[in-house]
Amino acid sequence: MPVSHIEHLLLLVDDVDATADWFVNNIGLSRGHTPDFKVKVTWLYIGEKDVLHIAHLPNEGKEKRFQDRYLGGRNSEETSGTGIIDHVAFRCTGLPEMITKLQNNKATFLQRQANDGDLYQLFITGPNGIRVELNFDAEEAKRHGIKPEMTALDAISN
């Protein structure tokens, strides 16, 4: 169940474009490919690696239903300070072993498949309500016959 590196942080904000512009102009991150999640989100990169995902923090409507269904809801409506950090994501291998470990530890988690089909995701509720995302190659899930409870497309279409 090796964790290889931090995958990304997700910020939930009121103004995605202004926040992204700030990180581009002040920190030197660059805009890059962002998968179509059917909601407002921008991915920022260091070189070839996406490291910061910035999404709109919706109060109602289709985007809120998507985030509540796909990410498992949100405990805070804060839009400033560290309350805007929704989750931290790690890249991993060993999906079946990780699922077994989480089940044995009675950890609360969701199994998801990203839209483009290349990521199989576990969203875990950690201490103090922090959300942790573990990303695995979707081929690993397929090889082991592991199916998600929901895809991102399922979450937005309902």
For the chain, report the end-to-end CA distance as a whole number of angstroms: 33
Domain covering 3-11+58-157: architecture: 2-Layer Sandwich (3.30)
Q: Kindly list the domain boundaries of the chain, sorted by start residue.
A: 3-11+58-157
Rounded to whole angstroms, the Cα distance separating 91 from 135 reads: 5
Instruction: Look at 108 and 127; give whichever has higher pLDDT.
Output: 108
Rounded to whole angstroms, the Cα distance separating 92 from 6 reads: 9
CA 137, chain centre distance (Å): 14
Residue 31: count of CB within 10 angstroms of its CB: 13
| Residue 150: per-residue pLDDT | 84
| Residue 67: per-residue pLDDT | 63
3-state secondary structure (DSSP) of residue 109: strand
Average pLDDT over residues 82-109: 85
Q: What is the pLDDT of residues 15-68, one digit of tens each?
A: 889 889 988 887 788 999 998 877 788 999 989 999 989 887 766 666 666 666
Q: What percent of the chain has pLDDT over 70?
A: 77
